[in-house]
Structure 1
Amino acid sequence: MADNKGPSEGTETENTASNLPEKQDISTTNTLKSSGENVHKDVGAHYFELSLQHDPAELERDSVKMMVTYMLSFLDKQTLNYSNAYGLQKDTHMVGDDYSWVASALYFGWLIGAYPSNLALQHFPIAKTVGSVMFVWGALCMLQASAFDFSGFFAIRFFLGFVESCISPAWVLLTSILWTRDEQPLRTSLWIAANGIASIIGALLAWGLGKADHIAVPNWKLIYLVVGCFTIAWGAVILLYLPDGPHNGKMLSEYERIVAVWRISKNRTGVQHPKFLLYQLREALLDAKTYLLLLMAAALGMLNGSVSNFMSALIKGFGFSPVRANLLQMPGGACEIISVILLGYISTFKNMTGITIILGCIPGIVGLAGIMTISTAHPYNLVACAWIQGVLGSPVILSWTLPVLNVAGHTKRSTVIGLYFLFYCAGNIAGPHLFFPKEAPHYMSAIKGLETCYAAVVVLQIVYTGICFFQNRSRDRLGYHAQDEQEAREGFEDLTDLENKHFRYRL
């Protein structure tokens, strides 16, 4: 039934409170913080209550000033791909499918760390956790230069994946608590476009380091040392400047924090809740939509694990030298940047997120078909088909946003995100093993397997969007609506998307 409750108390002050001096806001905040009532509440709840004292029109105007984009480069994931062109396998005595196992090792570590890291992100400050992890991550990246055989390389890559397992979920969670649901797909697409930038910078870096002559360290080791240093330096920046959410951003005044929390109150999902609720875990495991997301994660993981680790080997197999093979990956990075931002923008339109994920799969399908059918007598046509695989970044990242956009309840959301990345990692592990050395350069078995993965993503997304559509329509038909203020407050009460009948799924 619709809630016809009248306006809440304090409406009378809404038109004048925005002119209150900032000191008054701070004292009110301190009073709320000192009371024991917020111990087990969402960390943004008291800022939302404060926002109700301000004029919504003024809050809307001020919120425009506070759009900040956070970008993190995942160069270390590409270092294996780049170093492979410079004699990595020969120097470390890899034979057979050893390289495929090393490519998978990172995701074995991520697989083990996926769920614990998501629980940690629910309980501990997000930015502080990520910043601390990046120091270890950078050190491990540099340590790869010390590996001299398969087992050593596998072990280091495993631990690298373990510590990295919190990075992508943390960025997804930060996006969900810094921007509204309408803004999240594009904002997420903007920071994942940094992967395309990383592909270009990484290709140039690998090309430049590959040109270094008369040095004591092999060229492939230089890549790990340089990228590891960059990661450690960036970790210091994250630790010092990145906020854990809109409630404690150093760049924001007390009033601006109120504005920031007011903006994301429209999400109906709150900011962060420290308490683990067992019933929300059960609900996550019994919700059919969870399993559709997990199957999509596995399929996209197989695609990502294959494309990211075998691009240089694929291009090299078309008849190019190792140095040129790395350089020829740059246009693929440009394809990723353009497609991710363009499709991310399209996804911001009403009911377009699911359709955009499907559209993002089509270029990849066409490109793989080209690799299967075009002769090696036309190497640049084959390379162009490989570049198109960069478009994969768009369906991958938009799919990452679905558990955040459409799952409410902090324990339920953490569970679904943790399981999602666990299945995504499993797919990344399996992907490289579709490539059999004897089938180079076309790798027919791998191409057919990846075509199947693309088709699976399309079908699963259609089913998922259909279920969300019918659940939204059912709630509309039953009249589940309330005043905006009440619906926003419910978002800070840690209700799940099935409990909160005012919640609507993004299609």
Structure 2
Amino acid sequence: MDTKTAHQTTIPEPRNSTEKEQNVEILEQAQTSNEELWIQQYDLLAGKSKEELDKINKKVVSKLDWRFLTTITAMLLMNYLDRINVSNARLAGFQRDAHMSDVEWSAGISLFYVGYIITQVPANVIIAKGNPRILLPCIMLGWSAVTICMTAITSPAGFMICRFLVGVTEGPFIPAVALMTSSWYTKQESPLRMAIWHAGNIVSNIISGFLAAGILEHMDNIANLHSWQWFFLIEGIVSILVAIAAFWGLPKWPDNTGEYFFTKEESQMAQYRMKVSAGGQVEDDQGGYWEGFMMAMRDPFTWLFAAIHFALILSQAFKDFFPSVVETLGFSKMETYLVQAPPYFIAYIVCLVVSWSSGRFGEACWHIVACMAACLAGAILMISTLNVGARYFGLILLCSGPFLGLNLQLSWETTVVPRPRTKRAALVAFANCVSSVSHWFSPYFFLTWQAPRYVMGGGLLILGCALSIGLVILTRWYAMKKNKAIEKEEERTGVINPWRFAT
């Protein structure tokens, strides 16, 4: 989306590299002049010195980090725990006790994503125009209640119904959190912050292994309940407590969050800093629900990022079967629960470091390519050798790649399409929706008879990695093409446009 400037600046067409550098300086000066004009629209900020503005900005970021970011990270942690809890419950006999075949089990895993898909786009567009402070905790209460109900499952049909309902209630959540993060943090801040909450996906796998070791190994037959029933019950109760706390931890949107979260001065700073980050576009939404969706559908970036998201999710198809893959290494059941943690812990550290680097240097494409190349190597190791050390190293590479790639992709797509909010909401939800289609068929690539190599599953991961690498390079090329078109228009008209598409 091209950004209109607040005033016009003319520059001559560059004839050599020296003049090109001078024009870059003029472009930066034009952006600074625009900022000076934009800040006049905020009466509590106008006239303040740079030092005073920086101090207010630090207060805004600090409140967002300690209150908003902490809250959504806790919520996402429970979200991911709820999504993957069935994997470890399976090792504790859940599939056997519910009388499920491998095909019925995989069907239940797939049905989660049917429910997950159908709610994402409409719910995220509604949240974009609604009150996320109320809607997100209510969504969380919904999936928590269904998780508790899973303790009563005794048949394949019950498993399929519950997983479908969990998908329905969880579907809107991650797109909404990505939307909120992009509405509160600048394009430089967004990659690291998204990594912190998105790493809940990674941390949940660490915690899940320890929870499984503690609950599934020591609580069987307590109060006449199987250990997997305690697993669902405890997670559901904790999730409800987090949802209740979230009513006090979440803001609304920068243009309408009240003084319960920010002072009036800080509220204006929150709006101003996002306007600067978006090159002059305000966060205030435009049009109705349908208009934002259609704007997203007409933008080629939507389809490119949807394809990238699909490939990235394909490359992490192993996550629902990770405990089963680790089990093939030959450890005892307790050791199998515990050795799941180190690969995800390493992935967590890598995720934070690489995401910081992406935001610091304003680059997404090659960071994603490097991550997916590592994941591809891990998939090859998984299917090509039975050496325990080599396979375990391959699992570390598997965990470090696609989760990080997905985080960077989310930050990239919300930076490329900053405004209006409903368009961004539709893009994020649609991309997530398209990617979830892979879950309809990927569970059938990890059936138990394939153990220990899981060659079909590994082949699927390799395909996802290769597609991811090709698609992000294609998207970078398209963004650079759009930027060259902006530069040519500047040369033709002499009007500076400070907006550039992120690469």
Q: TM-score, normalised by structure 1?
A: 0.83
Written as runs of structure 1 = structure 2, the 5 A alignment for 1:64-213 is 64-67=58-61, 68-69=64-65, 70=69, 71-72=73-74, 73=77, 74-212=80-218, 213=220
State whether residues 114 and 418 of structure 1, in contact with CA within 8 Å, keep that contact through their aligned partners in structure 2.
yes
In structure 2, relative to structure 1, the CA distance for the partners of 1:51 and 1:431 (3 Å cut) is farther
For residue 51 of structure 1, report the CA deviation from its aligned partner. 5.6
In structure 2, relative to structure 1, the CA distance for the partners of 1:166 and 1:274 (3 Å cut) is farther
The whole-number CA distance in structure 1 between the counterparts of 2:303 and 2:347 is 28
The whole-number CA distance in structure 2 between the counterparts of 1:170 and 1:46 is 29
Q: 389, 394, 404: which one pairs with 1:385? A: 394
State whether residues 303 and 431 of structure 1, in contact with CA within 8 Å, keep that contact through their aligned partners in structure 2.
no
The whole-number CA distance in structure 1 between the counterparts of 2:365 and 2:201 is 22
For residue 302 of structure 1, report the CA deviation from its aligned partner. 2.1
Q: Structure 1 stretch 211-220 or stretch 50-59: which is displaced more?
A: 50-59
State whether residues 102 and 447 of structure 2, in contact with CA within 8 Å, keep that contact through their aligned partners in structure 1.
no
Question: Which consecutive unaligned segments of at least 5 residues does structure 1 have?
Answer: 16-44, 488-500
State whether residues 361 and 395 of structure 1, in contact with CA within 8 Å, keep that contact through their aligned partners in structure 2.
yes
Letter in 2 for 1:229: I
Verify: 1:59 aligned to 2:53, yes or no.
Answer: yes
Q: 274, 285, 293: which one pairs with 2:297? A: 285
Verify: 1:252 aligned to 2:248, yes or no.
Answer: no
SS at match of 1:347: helix
Letter in 1 for 2:399: G
Q: TM-score, normalised by structure 2?
A: 0.84
In structure 2, relative to structure 1, the CA distance for the partners of 1:186 and 1:48 (3 Å cut) is farther
SS at match of 2:166: helix
Q: What RMSD, in angstroms, separates the aligned Cα atoms of the two structures? A: 2.8
SS at match of 1:332: helix
SS at match of 1:340: helix
Written as runs of structure 1 = structure 2, the 5 A alignment for 1:89-488 is 89-212=95-218, 213-215=220-222, 216-247=224-255, 248=257, 250-268=260-278, 269-273=281-285, 275-276=287-288, 280-304=292-316, 306-375=317-386, 378-391=387-400, 392-407=402-417, 408-479=419-490
Q: Structure 1 stretch 345-354 or stretch 156-165: which is displaced more?
A: 345-354
SS at match of 2:490: coil
Question: Which consecutive unaligned segments of at least 5 residues does structure 2 have?
Answer: 11-28
State whether residues 94 and 149 of structure 1, in contact with CA within 8 Å, keep that contact through their aligned partners in structure 2.
yes
In structure 2, relative to structure 1, the CA distance for the partners of 1:481 and 1:228 (3 Å cut) is farther
For residue 54 of structure 1, report the CA deviation from its aligned partner. 4.2
SS at match of 2:360: coil
Letter in 2 for 1:254: K
Q: Percent same amino acid at aligned positions? A: 20
SS at match of 1:291: helix
The whole-number CA distance in structure 1 between the counterparts of 2:158 and 2:491 is 58
In structure 2, relative to structure 1, the CA distance for the partners of 1:51 and 1:370 (3 Å cut) is farther
Runs (4+) of structure 1 exceeding 6 A deviation are none
Counterpart residue number, 1:25: none
The whole-number CA distance in structure 2 between the counterparts of 1:234 and 1:404 is 27
For residue 160 of structure 1, report the CA deviation from its aligned partner. 0.7
State whether residues 148 and 237 of structure 2, in contact with CA within 8 Å, keep that contact through their aligned partners in structure 1.
yes
Letter in 1 for 2:120: A
In structure 2, relative to structure 1, the CA distance for the partners of 1:135 and 1:445 (3 Å cut) is same
For residue 55 of structure 1, report the CA deviation from its aligned partner. 2.6
